[in-house]
């Protein structure tokens, strides 16, 4: 009996100790779970927001009310790893990184009138180091950096990556790193030395632009730096022609194939990039991406709606291609009489789809009026199609703008016109020849006059 009692006495304290440790551990885990960002903010409105980057777009995550400049973001569950931004809707924000589920309890102090210059993080070494890095960047000449400044920047980026290995901040800094350009073998006395050096720097930068990018790391989808680098590359370093772009896109996606998540992200980003590009040839490029990398491998894409949208977009974008006869439009003019596109007798016809309520249409309409007035004496005609159904608004707009064009509309508005033309965006300009064959479609207003001169009657 005594032995049993002694045994029970020994077990009881041990059980208590185990229970205490369990409770203590649970308490600690509870305290460290979730996230909290204590804020001390000056020169800001009463509300401040926490956003998360998805690629280069921002999505709201949390809202904090400030009392006397103090407040906090907090939540029961940890923030997902990624790059975030703290700010309001009216001013530049303060970027920060959440690299993992640890250390999500820290503080930020800043004057939002000089947010980047004053941002100070407490208990977050990674973000404090990144803040100091951005402040140093602010002292550099970003418009015309010389070789010494470029070298200093690379040293700074390398030191940050080495101090915080494996973090999203290190990944971001390394991703935006420009290639080290070697000195070209150009003789000192060469009269075209400066030109040759610039050409060498351009070609080398284009060829090695992604050397610092780890295409096997899916976390690139969590930071804006990667999308920004892709955009810069295709906007400034690749010759803007569909043939060149197809080859370049294929080579890039071959590299991105090292990681399925990153590959999918690249395909969708490039599809959207050229889908929104204001170039008359952009349909050739985004159709190439859609057909070769999306519709040819539909199993890869988890969202049926996305595949369906791309398929419909590819089909519609092939309506009225360059070189084909434009679909005839038999509409009503402001007086209610029938008017046909094919009844216009002109060496060149500008076909313009617009809406007075469309904000993007307003400056294009004004500029189009100027261009047309300069060229109308050559026999060129402008067929302006209103794509909505507010007749009073349409007629008032024509009167106020004094638009001496051939005006037409359909009682059913865009629904009827879109059966023949791909009106994926407004305004839209086509240029047709004497036989109403499409010379060019989706023509930006900035390129119209060049085509008018090129196809002089």
Distance between CA 389 and CA 144 in Å, rounded?
Answer: 51
**Residue 228 shares a structural domain with residue 276:** yes
Number of H helices, E strands in the chain: 15, 15
**Residue 308 shares a structural domain with residue 392:** no
User: Is 259 among the domain residues?
Assistant: yes
Mean pLDDT, to the nearest integer, of 70-95?
Answer: 89
Instruction: State the greatest distance between any 2 C-alpha atoms of the chain, in Å, as a whole number.
Output: 120
Q: Which residues contact 208 (CB under 8 A, 6 or more apart)?
A: 179
**Residue 27 pLDDT class (50, 70, 90 cuts):** very low
Q: Which two tokens stand for residue 452?
A: 């008018």
Q: Which residues contact 59 (CB under 8 A, 6 or more apart)?
A: 51, 52, 53
Task: Find the CATH number of the domain harbouring 90.
Answer: 2.60.40
pLDDT of 116 reads 87
| DSSP H or E stretch at residue 268 | helix 260-275
- pLDDT, tens digit, 9 for 90 and up, residues 29-41: 444 589 999 999 9
- pLDDT, tens digit, 9 for 90 and up, residues 238-269: 999 999 999 999 999 999 999 999 999 999 99
Q: Residue 74 in contact with residue 35, Cβ under 8 Å? A: yes
Using DSSP's 3-state secondary structure scheme, residue 344 falls into coil
Mean pLDDT across the chain, nearest whole number?
A: 87
Domain boundary among 288, 318, 348: 318
Q: Which residues of 156-175 are buried (b: 16+ CB within 10 A; e: fewer)?
A: bbeebbeebeebbbbbbbbb
Domain boundary among 137, 158, 185: 137
Which single residue is written with the structure tokens 């899916």?
Answer: 218
What is the helix, strand, coil percentage profile of the chain, to 5? 50, 20, 35
**Residue 290 shares a structural domain with residue 335:** no
**Residue 446 shares a structural domain with residue 351:** yes
**Residue 258 shares a structural domain with residue 350:** no
| DSSP H or E stretch at residue 74 | strand 70-75
> The domain containing residue 244 runs over which residues?
199-318
Distance between CA 415 and CA 40 in Å, rounded?
Answer: 53
Task: Find the CATH number of the domain harbouring 377.
Answer: 3.40.30.10
Distance between CA 324 and CA 437 in Å, rounded?
Answer: 5
What is the model's pTM?
A: 0.79
User: Is 194 among the domain residues?
Assistant: no
Distance between CA 283 and CA 288 in Å, rounded?
Answer: 8
Size (the chain), residues:
457
Q: Residue 352 in contact with residue 429, Cβ under 8 Å? A: yes
């Amino acid at each position: 009996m005594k032995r049993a009692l002694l045994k029970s006495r020994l077990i009881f304290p041990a059980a208590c100790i185990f229970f205490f440790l369990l409770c203590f551990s649970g308490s600690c885990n509870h305290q460290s779970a979730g996230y909290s960002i204590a804020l001390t903010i000056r020169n800001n409105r009463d509300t401040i927001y926490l956003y998360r980057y998805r690629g280069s777009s921002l999505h709201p995550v949390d809202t904090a009310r400030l009392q006397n400049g103090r407040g906090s973001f907090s939540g029961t569950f940890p923030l997902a790893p990624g790059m975030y931004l703290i700010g309001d809707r009216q001013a530049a924000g303060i970027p920060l990184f959440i690299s993992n589920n640890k250390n999500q309890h820290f503080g930020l102090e800043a004057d939002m009138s000089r947010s980047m210059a004053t941002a100070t993080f407490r208990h977050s070494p990674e973000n404090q180091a990144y803040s100091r890095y951005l402040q140093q960047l602010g002292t550099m000449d970003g418009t015309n950096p010389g070789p010494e400044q470029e070298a200093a920047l690379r040293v700074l980026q390398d030191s940050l990556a080495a101090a915080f290995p494996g973090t999203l901040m290190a990944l971001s800094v390394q991703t935006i790193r420009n290639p080290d350009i070697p000195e070209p073998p150009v003789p000192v006395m060469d009269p075209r030395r400066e030109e040759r050096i610039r050409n060498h720097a351009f070609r080398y930068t284009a060829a090695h632009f992604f050397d610092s990018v780890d295409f096997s790391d899916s976390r690139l989808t969590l930071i804006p730096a990667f999308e920004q680098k892709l955009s810069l590359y295709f906007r400034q370093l690749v010759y803007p022609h569909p043939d060149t772009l197809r080859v370049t896109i294929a080579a890039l996606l071959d590299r991105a194939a090292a990681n399925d998540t990153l590959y999918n992200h690249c395909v969708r980003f490039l599809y959207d990039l050229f889908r929104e590009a204001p170039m008359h040839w952009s349909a050739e490029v985004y159709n190439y991406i859609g057909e070769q990398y999306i519709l040819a491998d539909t199993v890869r894409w988890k969202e049926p709606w996305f595949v369906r949208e791309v398929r419909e977009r590819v089909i519609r974008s092939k309506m009225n291609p360059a070189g084909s006869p434009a679909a005839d439009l038999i509409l009503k003019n402001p007086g209610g009489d029938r008017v046909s596109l094919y009844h216009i007798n002109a060496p060149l016809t500008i076909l313009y789809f617009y809406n007075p309520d469309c904000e993007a249409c307003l400056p294009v309409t004004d500029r189009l009026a100027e261009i047309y007035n300069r060229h109308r004496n050559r026999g060129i005609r402008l067929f302006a199609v209103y794509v909505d159904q507010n007749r009073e608004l349409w007629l008032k707009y024509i009167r106020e703008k004094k638009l001496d064009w051939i005006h037409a509309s359909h009682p059913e508005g865009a629904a009827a016109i879109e059966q023949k033309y791909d009106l994926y965006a407004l305004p839209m300009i086509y240029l047709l020849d004497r036989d109403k064959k499409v010379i060019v479609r989706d023509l930006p207003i900035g390129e119209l006059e060049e085509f008018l001169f090129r196809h002089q009657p």
